[in-house]
Amino acid sequence: MQILITTSALSRPKVFQFTPWSLALTGLALIIPLMILSLILYHAVVLKATHERWPIISEAVRFVERQELAQRDRFMRENLDAMAEKVGEMQARLLRLEAVSERVAGMAGMKPDEIKAIETPATSASGAAGGASAPAAGGPLVSLRDPGPATTSGEILAELNDQVGHLNALGERQADVLTLIESHLFEKRLDALMMPSTQPVDGPIGSGFGFRSDPFTGRPALHTGLDFPADPGTPIVAAAGGVVLSAGPHPQYGLLVELDHGNGLVTRYAHTSRMLVKQGDLVKRGQRIAEVGNTGRSTGPHLHFEVLVDGVQQNPTRFLQSGGNNTARANSPAPIR
């Protein structure tokens, strides 16, 4: 494209030659400043119209602003509703967990008062402020799907914050309850470990607990334990974990091992041929502590096993049966003690 410019008939014409690219760049160079100027003028006019409340422009601007605010509010409500549903689900799960915790606590032997003593921080604070403990409260989360025209997004968010705080308090309470349950279960486990429920010798019972004819005098006498006939050298194991109270000779029991299991519970293993522990040793359930023998007041090789509670002999069969051992009933009295 060429453009000729002449100033007179005698002067030489000036020739301007344009390519498509040069035309495009020239157009952009003219259009961009015009657009920037138009935007500046439009912005100045709109701001002036809004501040001075021009009848048409200010109404249009306010309408656009209201539409944008309404759209943002709808978006926030939708997200807050989704959050409210999640919070409700979390609260329902915590309530179910609370019910399960109470059932497990009952199985662990805990009393309901022990669980009720663990209050949430919010409840404790309100109770302290009022001078008395606040009553128990609960229930499902109220749905925020249809909050009503007077409910704003800020109010919904504030209610959600309250619900989240309540859930945090419930979570802390459940953690305390589970910790207490764990402690009770651990205590029960320790009690079970210290309960003499393991049969000390693998074999049948020869003479049971109760009155029988004494093998030496022939007169009725109380047999204070269980006799386990076995070959000399048969291993004798601890019926439960404990500490060796004594290990040495006795005029009637022969070589005697006594284990202290705590809480006034003691087991005796009499007439042994060899003792494998000494006083003060810590032994585990099932640990080999001695071997069957015929020492002391005995008519043949066997183990005489006793269980004492606060120094009083008890029927060992009850303890062995509590551990699931298939102890046979005592046979007719045998001439051993």
Report the CATH number at residue 302.
Answer: 2.70.70.10
One domain, residues 245 and 166: no
Q: What percent of the chain is modeled with pLDDT above 70?
A: 72
User: 223 and 307: one domain?
Assistant: yes
Contacts of 252 (CB under 8 A, 6+ apart): 296, 297
pLDDT band at 137 (very low <50, low <70, confident <90, very high): very low
The Cα-based distances of 318 to 186, 228, 279 in angstroms read 23, 16, 27
Say whether both 121 and 177 belong to one domain.
yes
The structural domain count of the chain equals 2
Flag whether 283 is in a domain.
Answer: yes
- Please say if the pLDDT value at position 289 is more than 70: yes
Distances (CA, A) of 323 to 179, 222, 244, 275: 27, 25, 22, 25
Same domain for 272 and 156: no
For 293, which DSSP code? B
DSSP state of 311: T
C-alpha to C-alpha distances, 25 to 21, 30, 32, nearest whole angstrom: 6, 9, 11
Residue 333 falls inside a structural domain? no
Decide if pLDDT at 323 tops 70: no
Answer yes or no: do 189 and 301 share one domain.
no
153 — pLDDT class (breaks 50, 70, 90):
low
Q: Is residue 168 part of a domain?
A: yes
pTM here is 0.50
DSSP assignment string, 149-181: TT--HHHHHHHHHHHHHHHHHHHHHHHHHHHHH
Which residue's structure tokens are 């410019």?
5
**β-sheet bridge partners, residue 257:** 247, 269
Residue 2 belongs to a domain? no
